[in-house]
Structure 1
Amino acid sequence: MIPVDLTPSMLRGGAELERTARGLRVHRLPEWVRTQYPDGQLLMMESQPSGVRLALRTSANAIELVTHPTRVAYRGADRARGNVDVFVNGSLFARDLLTGGDVFEIDLTSGASTLATGPSRTSRITGLPAGDSRIEIWLPHNETVELVSLHADAPVLEDDEHLPIWLHHGSSISHGSNATAPSETWPAIASRLAHVDLHNLGFGGSALVDPFMARVIRDRPADAISVKLGINTVNTDAMRLRAFVPAVHGFLDTIRDGHPTTPILLISPIFAGIHERTPGPGAVDTATLGTDHVQFIATGDPDDIAHGKLTLEVIRRELASLVERRAADQNLHYLDGLDLFGADDARAFPLPDGLHPGPDAHRLIGERFADIAFGTGGMFSED
């Protein structure tokens, strides 16, 4: 097997590769953000490479990728391990379930955490087709990974195909919570259907209209931009209505500083019954810990809506109104999240934890988004 030099040019959808004692850690946010705002939740989420792929060309029959995963586990709330998905010439060829690595176990009742270490994981992909092939290795969406080494039995080059860049920002739903594999998050599904280069800035618990996130989007190349806001603002009880609306205006203004004419799609939240008419903060229902059906609940008081507290219904109304008031920007569009996943869909595909869509719902949302945004006559379509 021939050692392959892992270079930033092989990476799709990431921001930086950090040199570590083991190899290279993938980051989805640049160092200046991680330095400026080292929030533990954000740092954990940005280092989980949702949507990030290694894009290669090779005639190899076999490839070996060694990674060292680090995951977070919650005591009493089992979470599925991550996968490495391998696509060959656009089709899923292999899926490797991660084992080993390090694990931070967190007690949700006390906040205490412990660290257990484990071995690295070798993903072996054999039986690749003869001749030159395009290989995409999708890294796990729900575990931090360090790229330790890559080997192949023939030379490997970076893939030179360049697709339109779709830059998307959102919450844990966009990050891929409850999706079974990295290529099965709804943004990943939509990007393959639309044949675009996904750059996923979906971060669990961290879509909070942060000014630094708008600067990141402003400074990144993009042919289409979507911003999905609302659920984290509600379930963290981070803002009142008076602060939320001007914050979104400022967020969009900053993006426009770097992308004056790029199509932007502002998306409101999908359906989540617990927060439709009940403000945050959200919380884990401790009575469900240790069961197979851990649930989230809303703890706010609906009477506080009159005092500016936010719910999903309020968010949708305000985002739609905001886009109407920015009508002079003909490249700014609004998408009601209920068009992606509404109350009827929640009855057909119940949210497993009351907040995040399951695998079937991720597929439904991805297919609908690809059609609405990238299909004929869509916001991102050139037709």
Structure 2
Amino acid sequence: MHTQYDWITTPITPDLLRGALDLERTAHGLLPHRLPAGARAQCTDGQLAMAEAQPSGVRLVLRTRATAVELDTLPTKRVYPGAPPRPDGVYDLLVDGRLAAQAGVTGGNTLTIDMTTGTAEHRPGPTGTLRFTGLPDGVKDVEIWLPHNETTELVALRTDAPVEPAPDRGRRVWLHHGSSISHGSDAASPSTTWPALAASRGGVELINLGLGGSALLDPFTARALRDTPADLISVKIGINLVNTDLMRLRAFGPAVHGFLDTIRDGHPATPLLVVSPILCPIHEDTPGPSAPDLTALSAGRLRFRAVGDPAERASGKLTLNVIRDELARIVAQRAAEDPNLHYLDGRDLYGQADSAGLPLPDDLHPDAATHRRIGERFADLAFAAGGPFTADGPRTGRGA
């Protein structure tokens, strides 16, 4: 299999990876994590464990003359009985910042999740090999973005020329936290999730703590944000609190304050942008929880519906409009003493007019075209002159 090239095997070390907060040594290799071990120890929720171990925004970044690269990985692929089959995760190869190739890895473990019962079954599988050839000759920066939605253990890295860590280009580090939408649900590939697209347009290094189903104002997530060096921080708050029906309005406001207080303990003057939910018609005025639409599922389509009753808002149940009003109020209150705190209404990224032309396919998550629209708009609003992340700001930290 490896006879065409004089392969050089290079150990996969932290200085070759960006976007991960921790690396776990497994029986097969290295498993990137997007939450540190201390945070993972404080919550045994299976959804969180799956989400934080899916390497959204994590990439191998190399400086090399190599024209061929092989990467052995052990993916964990998800299967949802009754729903359309999920495609294999995509690996994006970027050369000097431009997408040059894409590929997938066959084999791997299988995690079968029954959405009607909430049960899951894990079956082990074999390691697979990813190969990119025909790279341009000469010294270049090579990035391999790992699948954003597929847990990926890194087993071995081979090239036909020596590699070294890519040098620091002096770019600012943007640390972002959000829900499955920030994680990249239904994006086409890892470098085309909306945060990755916005980071590329903004000329920054991304650390993506978008955690599918798990943007729940958890204190351990706030501490991870507090302890991660960064020049720019954003937190997108709301949809998971509604679709899990986790808390009421009385708890929400203090929880947001506490979350922001913790971030500010480690980043007292870093530009911090609070982003409210994008438009999601099923939850604008109807509380959660969300649930799979079993009628659609029986027809082989994945859709979600809001199970709550709009009348329950009177008892403090959260909807997206309630959350937006409260976030705007909290940020305005705090900004009086914190000039580096900013607010962005998520409907400026995806709103009613967008929904008419690009409806959410499952009524909850954006598709690939909508990820691109959100990423472009975020970059235009946040990184452009006069935005909270304007390029003339100083570097205040170092990224992971």
Range class of TM-score, shorter chain? over 0.9
The 3-state SS of whatever aligns with 2:41 is helix
The 3-state SS of whatever aligns with 1:255 is helix
Q: How far apart are 1:121 and its partner, in Å? A: 1.7
Mapped contact 1:10–1:54 kept (Cα < 8 A): yes
Find out whether 1:209 has 2:245 as its counterpart: no
Q: How far apart are 1:114 and its partner, in Å? A: 2.7
The 3-state SS of whatever aligns with 2:152 is strand
Percent of aligned pairs with the same amino acid = 59
Alignment equivalent of 1:16, drawn from 22, 35, 39: 22
Q: 1:117-155, CA deviations, whole angstroms, 9 ceiling, x for partnerless residues? A: 332221111111111010011000001011010000100
Mapped contact 1:139–1:182 kept (Cα < 8 A): yes
**Corresponding residue of 1:365:** 374
Q: What is the CA–CA distance in structure 2 between the aligned matches of 1:189 and 1:291, rounded to whole Å?
A: 34
The 3-state SS of whatever aligns with 1:351 is coil
Find out whether 1:309 has 2:309 as its counterpart: no
Find out whether 1:356 has 2:365 as its counterpart: yes
Find out whether 1:67 has 2:65 as its counterpart: no
Q: 1:226-267, CA deviations, whole angstroms, 9 ceiling, x for partnerless residues? A: 000000000111011010011001110111010010000000
**Corresponding residue of 1:334:** 343
5+ long unaligned stretches in structure 1: none
**Corresponding residue of 1:108:** 115
Mapped contact 1:293–1:352 kept (Cα < 8 A): no
Mapped contact 2:384–2:391 kept (Cα < 8 A): no
The 3-state SS of whatever aligns with 2:342 is strand
Q: How far apart are 1:115 and its partner, in Å? A: 2.8
Aligned AA (2:355): A
**Corresponding residue of 1:149:** 156
Find out whether 1:158 has 2:165 as its counterpart: yes
Q: How far apart are 1:378 and its partner, in Å? A: 1.0
Q: What does residue range 262-277 of structure 1 map to in structure 2 within 5 Å?
A: 262-277=270-285
Alignment equivalent of 1:57, drawn from 57, 63, 71: 63
The 3-state SS of whatever aligns with 2:70 is strand
Question: After alignment, is 75-84 or 258-267 more displaced?
Answer: 75-84
Q: How far apart are 1:317 and its partner, in Å? A: 0.7
Aligned AA (2:184): G
Q: What is the CA–CA distance in structure 2 between the aligned matches of 1:344 and 1:352, rounded to whole Å?
A: 16
Q: What does residue range 92-241 of structure 1 map to in structure 2 within 5 Å?
A: 92-162=99-169, 163-241=171-249
Q: What is the CA–CA distance in structure 2 between the aligned matches of 1:167 and 1:291, rounded to whole Å?
A: 40
Alignment equivalent of 1:89, drawn from 88, 92, 96: 96
Alignment equivalent of 1:294, drawn from 299, 302, 311: 302
Aligned AA (1:311): T
**Corresponding residue of 1:285:** 293
TM-score normalised by the chain length of structure 1: 0.98
How many residues of Structure 1 are paired with residues of Structure 2 in the alignment? 383
Q: What is the CA–CA distance in structure 2 between the aligned matches of 1:98 and 1:122, rounded to whole Å?
A: 6
Q: What is the CA–CA distance in structure 2 between the aligned matches of 1:96 and 1:382, rounded to whole Å?
A: 34
Aligned alpha-carbon RMSD (Å): 1.0
Q: What is the CA–CA distance in structure 1 between the aligned matches of 2:291 and 2:133, rounded to whole Å?
A: 44
The 3-state SS of whatever aligns with 1:36 is coil
Q: How far apart are 1:290 and its partner, in Å? A: 4.3
Aligned AA (2:168): E
Q: How far apart are 1:292 and its partner, in Å? A: 4.7
Find out whether 1:41 has 2:47 as its counterpart: yes
Q: What is the CA–CA distance in structure 1 between the aligned matches of 2:367 and 2:383, rounded to whole Å?
A: 23
Q: What is the CA–CA distance in structure 1 between the aligned matches of 2:57 and 2:318, rounded to whole Å?
A: 30
Question: After alignment, is 165-174 or 289-298 more displaced?
Answer: 289-298
Question: After alignment, is 74-83 or 273-282 more displaced?
Answer: 74-83
Q: What is the CA–CA distance in structure 2 between the aligned matches of 1:243 and 1:106, rounded to whole Å?
A: 31
Distance 1:304 1:296, change over 3 A: same
Mapped contact 1:295–1:354 kept (Cα < 8 A): yes
Alignment equivalent of 2:12, drawn from 6, 17, 20: 6
Q: What is the CA–CA distance in structure 2 between the aligned matches of 1:74 and 1:239, rounded to whole Å?
A: 28
Aligned AA (1:72): R
Q: What is the CA–CA distance in structure 1 between the aligned matches of 2:242 and 2:23, rounded to whole Å?
A: 33
**Corresponding residue of 2:37:** 31
